[in-house]
A = this chain, B = another copy of it.
Amino acid sequence: MPTAQPAGPSPELIFETLNAYQRSAALRAAIELDLFQAIGEGPGDVASLARQCRASGRGIRTLCDYLTILGLLAKEDGRYRHTPTSATFLDPRSPACIASMARFLGDPGMTAAYGRLAEIVRKGGTVLPGQGSVEPENPIWVEFAHGMAPMMAPLAGPLAAVVLEGLAGPLRALDIAAGHGLFGIEVARQNPEARITALDWAPVLEVARANARKAGVDDRYDLLPGSAFDVEYGGPYDIVLLTNFLHHFDPPTCTGLLSKVHAALTPGGRAATLEFVPNEDRISPPIAAAFSLTMLASTAAGDAYTFRELESMYRAAGFDGITAHPISNSSHTVVLGRASV
């Protein structure tokens, strides 16, 4: 079902696309049933799995076959076992498990909008109330902070390395829309003299604070509750992180925010965004480019911006030396700008 694209006309591609929603449902159901834990514990035959998951044999066999077709399980001699992907990222016993993101990505408030996608395309923006997903205090962001942290964790190291390159000694960093806080926390880990200010809505900051404590950096971790558009940033900061944030807004709003960031930076200070950045063709790479649809469906005017678009926002806000740093083995890119001196 990861099928190669056929050269000729393919009714199968259409049939599979119309049924693709079943893939999401199958993976969500398997996570809910603790199936990937049961697979990891073995022995992987239908009867054992049904017992472990307290489910029917018919249901387990059908679900496991379907997940095997998707490449999320393997099957041999009637037994199911992990693929490298499911062992690493779906078995809760793995430290890299990202199964928790099923909750955020499957949040009914977000997914329901897709039932009205034609209307959204007509209108040119979300049909969710107000500003959509970025409506103030939307509880979805607490879910994001919890659920998406494992998916974001591997990006924190590379992001912090890019941001800190050539910087040593005491510094101050502002982490805007901190969420789980992992990015600012990693800056604090890589530089023991860094002091972090985490900005987000108050309920979300509770998640970040707990993560900072777990990482042992809470003595250098300050909280700044509120909206990135409204609160005074304080400062000046040597570094500002703006991760997974700009894509929610239109270019003028992004430029305005980047100007506010610029004003809070020391001369030569660095602003780093972490984003899905599609190529200028807007159709590659697939995951980054496809993210535009998520922004269409869930925001009033957001987008997955190309590097050229981000560069032009940065410039308009007073930055220069703007560079793109794709993170390897991921679909994310760090875009770095320096506050003009």
Contact = CB atoms under 8 A, between A and B. Distances in A.
A4 to B, nearest CB: 6
A331 to B, nearest CB: 6
Nearest to A15: B287
B118 A29 contact: yes
Contacts of A55: 121-122, 124
A89 to B, nearest CB: 5
A114 interface: yes
A164 to B, nearest CB: 25
Interface string A281-314: 1111011011011111100010100000000000
A189 interface: no
Contacts of A163: none
A260 interface: no
Interface in A119-141: 120-125
Contact of A114 (B25, B284, B331): B25
Chain multiplicity (copies) = 2
Given A16-B287, A19-B105, A283-B69, A296 B151 contact: no
A294 B19 contact: yes
Given A13-B72, A27-B14, A59 B114 contact: no
Contact of A121 (B2, B63, B284): B63
A276 B122 CA distance: 37
Nearest to A83: B9
A341 interface: no
Interface residues of A, number: 93
A88 interface: yes
A8 interface: yes
Contacts of A114: 21-22, 25
B75 A281 contact: yes
A190 interface: no
A92 to B, nearest CB: 14
Given A9-B89, A121-B60, A286 B75 contact: no
Interface in A255-299: 281-284, 286-287, 289-290, 292-297
B293 A22 contact: yes
A228 interface: no
A20 interface: yes
Given A9-B96, A20-B20, A29-B117, 20 more contacts: A2-B4, A11-B151, A14-B89, A19-B294, A21-B21, A21-B23, A21-B111, A21-B114, A22-B293, A22-B294, A26-B117, A26-B293, A33-B118, A53-B121, A58-B301, A59-B122, A59-B124, A68-B283, A69-B289, A69-B290
23 contacts: A2-B4, A2-B5, A10-B85, A13-B70, A14-B89, A14-B101, A15-B105, A18-B28, A19-B105, A20-B24, A21-B21, A25-B114, A26-B293, A58-B125, A58-B301, A59-B121, A62-B296, A63-B117, A68-B283, A69-B283, A69-B286, A69-B289, A75-B283
The 5 closest A-B pairs by CB, nearest first: A56-B124, A59-B121, A25-B114, A21-B21, A29-B117
